[in-house]
A and B are shown apart, each in its own frame.
Chain A
Amino acid sequence: MGQALQEGLGRVAGIHKRPHFSTIPLKVYFLYRFAHVSMIIMSSYLKLSKDQRDHALALHVENIVIDSSIVAVIDYVAENMWLNDVIKGGLTASNLTVCMQRSFSEALAELMKHNKWAEKNKDRVLLVKKGGDIERAKREGKHGIFYGPQDSMFLEGNVDFLDVAYDHGLRAMQLTYNWLNEVGAGCREKKDPGLSAFGERVVERMNKLGVLIDLSHTGDQTCWDAIEQSKAPVSFTHIIPRKSAPEKPGGYAEWANRSTNLWGDFVAYSKQRGKPDEMMKACAEKGGVIGVTPFFVKKAGKSTLTDDLLDQLDVLVDVVGVDNVGFGSDLEFPNSITRAAFIWKNPQRIDVDYFTPMDKSWGYGWMENMPNFTMGLVARGYSDQEIKKILGLNFVKLFKRVWG
């Protein structure tokens, strides 16, 4: 089906134009259209019937669920609070942000610390080294972890260090964080010179080793260069579409603007972190997967975070198709813990500002409410097979392809 016809159908269908219609016959489309009416009525996960809810929960429990971007806490004083949380949330595997240092030895020490922790907790934790390990984690009821630094500065300008990190569990890496580094530019830089000569070597080595290239925080030109030059599919593990970044964001953005300077102006940041349609399409065409993140999705008003997240997901599916999307919480568990301590000290602040971390609809900051995401997918009318893909299978397929 041509793009014009697709767009035409999209107009007929109203707001929920879905490009994978192009692969199905017209009469099926009209059947879908009928279902679509009820979908609009029941677009919030809160409106599910008990049966649908049970169905969603069963789907969630049975399936591989992947969080493609999270910062864990493995500290002994926490008594595995993070691990308990992700297991409670039904997560099968997580991509852990580590190695954000600028010194390779410090970064390596952190990797080793995580590996030691995984070994100590091997009855519940599995260090994922290939795609099949995620299925194994699911089978054995363990939580799989692998490492994906959100920056490449720890390499200290030495591609061979990638081999060493790989040996210790590195399986994904962002080429840049928000800023310029030796590889390329981050999304917050005013000027983006694109992938450097060193960056090209990094991409090449990552391809050779089988390390997933993550471009979530990377600047546009550097992203384009990496997508073009990489022989393997690349990924945006935790982003939203730029065009649908909320113009009037919720209380968290106000809180962030007022209380921290971590991100500068939150709306501007969310647009920088968001990716344009064409780029996401190019990523998907090469077999990449795009993880939608709740981090930027909250709109002003009374909507739940889950529904706001599903709105972004719908847009994303609309752009790249259901086979190329996943989920990446972008949750920083150290922040979750800090905020919980804050709320422990200031109970009256529980439902305000910070991420509405205690928002019962999502509990952003904690993964225990992750099944709400699956409920949302059911409420939006995704089929069981589509839901399985979004929850984890798309990423597993990508990992198998990249990691071998």
Chain B
Amino acid sequence: MTKDELAHAEALHRESIVIDASIVAFIEGVGEDLMLEDMAKGGVTASNATVCMQRTLGEAMREVAEVNEWAEKKKDKTLIVRKATDIEKAKKDGKSALILGPQDSLFLEAKTAFLEIAWEMGIRIIQLSYQRSDAADGCWDRVDGGLTNFGVSLVEAMNKKGMLIDLSHVGDRSTMETIELSKQPVSFTHVIPRATTPRDLSPYAKWAGGEKFVKLALGRGRTDEALKTCTEKGGMVGVTPFFAKTGKPTTLTDDLMDQVDYVVNLVGAEHVGFGSDLDYRNSITRGAYIWKHPDRVDVTYHTAMDKSWGYGWLEHMPNFTKGLVARGYSDEEIKGILGGNWVRLFKKVWGA
């Protein structure tokens, strides 16, 4: 890229609403706001934070209460998004906002009535299932039996409430059934297409389990059909770097751009976004590990410290925008992919 192009990309990144559609947040005290600093440094306006992975409503709501309490205390730096315009407000005020989005529905204890409580507490997105079955079969289940009775009720109840459905980890059949059943657009907040899921082993894949990792990655990859059907109904696809790294000596940013290109080509740029699938707890653990073992900085774990991307931390997020500029996307398309497309979907589903 030329110096002008770089400056343009940086300016674009700064001006735009930037949304990360899937992270696991880290809000505890002794880190002195490591996560918020990182989001701010990376120019991230809002992240959809995974919460409520428990199996009981009480434990899950206790966690959300803690997050809300934390956000209230840190209100000069953050806010919990309750309506789509809160994201625009966060951008204007220079804050890093969190959207609360469980990656499982087990915490509802098979009672759709509890959605009301979840909504009241600030939950705005729910993934129907994680890897294993509950409301719907998960992407790693042996048999994909489709939506359960509870799953059907949940989709209907979420539609009614205006909560966004996430299908990132859901099994193929359940995914297709949900897209068909849902009256609202649905989303994949953090996926890559199965067709382009790398079959070769990146250093991270080797570290994380080798061939087994590829098998899991393929399970998480979405079929072209699912991506197309979802977006035809107005839904969104958040492209994730988690599975994007190939075995080639490429940068993670370039590998990620290859995935973005494929998805844009398939569903159109207006339906594409970004979802890091970053788990800050792991980033922090790995950061400490590298502090103790500086020699391990560039190897294995997620190429966490790959300077082109710095997966594990969002501070290098402007590289994503640079990549988009380098791949020839227009300013309008880039603004959409960075966050505009997500905001549009949130407005439609949440109703404000």
Residues of A within 8 A of B (CB): 73, 75, 77-79, 81, 101-103, 105-106, 259-262, 334-345, 354
Contact = CB atoms under 8 A, between A and B. Distances in A.
Nearest to A105: B55
Given A77-B301, A342-B30, A345-B34, A337 B59 contact: no
A128 B34 CA distance: 36
A156 to B, nearest CB: 10
A260 B30 contact: yes
B285 A339 contact: no
Nearest to B37: A345
A262 B31 CA distance: 13
Nearest to A354: B30
A281 B162 CA distance: 62
A106 B34 contact: no
B29 interface: yes
B183 to A, nearest CB: 34
A341 B291 contact: yes
A341 B34 contact: yes
Contacts of B301: 77
Interface of B: 26, 28-32, 34, 37, 54-56, 58-59, 62, 73, 281-292, 301
B291 A344 contact: yes
Contacts of A78: 285-286, 288-289
A106 B56 contact: yes
A350 to B, nearest CB: 10
Given A77-B301, A341-B284, A341-B291, A260 B34 contact: no
A77 B30 contact: no
Given A338-B34, A339-B31, A354-B30, A75 B56 contact: no
B59 A77 contact: no
Nearest to A84: B292
B295 to A, nearest CB: 13
Given A259-B32, A345-B34, A338 B288 contact: yes
B58 A102 contact: yes
Contacts of B28: 334-335, 338
B59 A338 contact: no
A73 B285 contact: yes
Given A102-B58, A103-B58, A335 B30 contact: yes
A354 B34 CA distance: 14
21 contacts: A75-B281, A75-B282, A77-B285, A77-B301, A78-B285, A78-B288, A78-B289, A81-B292, A101-B59, A103-B55, A103-B58, A105-B56, A106-B55, A259-B32, A261-B29, A342-B30, A342-B31, A342-B32, A342-B34, A344-B287, A344-B288
Nearest to A79: B289
Contacts of B29: 259-262
Nearest to B302: A77
Interface of A is mostly: helix
Contacts of A105: 55-56
Contacts of A102: 58-59, 62
Contacts of B59: 101-103, 106
Given A77-B301, A102-B58, A105-B55, 7 more contacts: A75-B281, A103-B56, A337-B288, A338-B288, A341-B291, A343-B291, A345-B37
Contacts of B282: 75, 77
A339 B30 CA distance: 6
Contacts of A339: 30-31, 288
Nearest to A80: B289
B58 A340 contact: no
A262 B62 CA distance: 16
Contacts of B54: 103, 106
Q: What are the 9 A-B residue pairs with the smallest beta carbon separation, nearest first?
A: A341-B287, A260-B29, A340-B288, A344-B291, A337-B288, A341-B284, A338-B31, A77-B282, A335-B30
Contacts of A103: 54-56, 58-59
A341 B312 CA distance: 12
Contacts of A338: 26, 28, 30-31, 34, 284, 288
Contacts of B26: 338
B280 to A, nearest CB: 10
Contact of B288 (A101, A106, A259, A336): A336
Nearest to B286: A77
Nearest to A353: B32
Contact of A341 (B56, B73, B283): B283
A335 B26 CA distance: 12
A345 B54 CA distance: 31
A343 B289 CA distance: 12
A337 B290 CA distance: 11
A75 B28 CA distance: 17
Nearest to A357: B30
Contacts of B289: 77-79, 81
A261 B73 contact: yes
A260 B28 CA distance: 9
A105 B59 CA distance: 11
A345 B29 CA distance: 16
Contacts of B286: 77-78, 341
B56 A337 contact: no
Given A102-B59, A106-B59, A340 B287 contact: yes
A361 to B, nearest CB: 19
Contacts of B287: 340-341, 344-345
Contact of A337 (B55, B62, B285): B285
A389 to B, nearest CB: 32
A73 B289 CA distance: 12
A78 B31 CA distance: 17
Nearest to A346: B32
Contacts of A344: 287-288, 290-291
B218 to A, nearest CB: 21
Q: Which one of A78, A81, A345 has the highest number of Cβ atoms from chain B below 10 Å of its Cβ?
A: A345
A81 B288 contact: yes
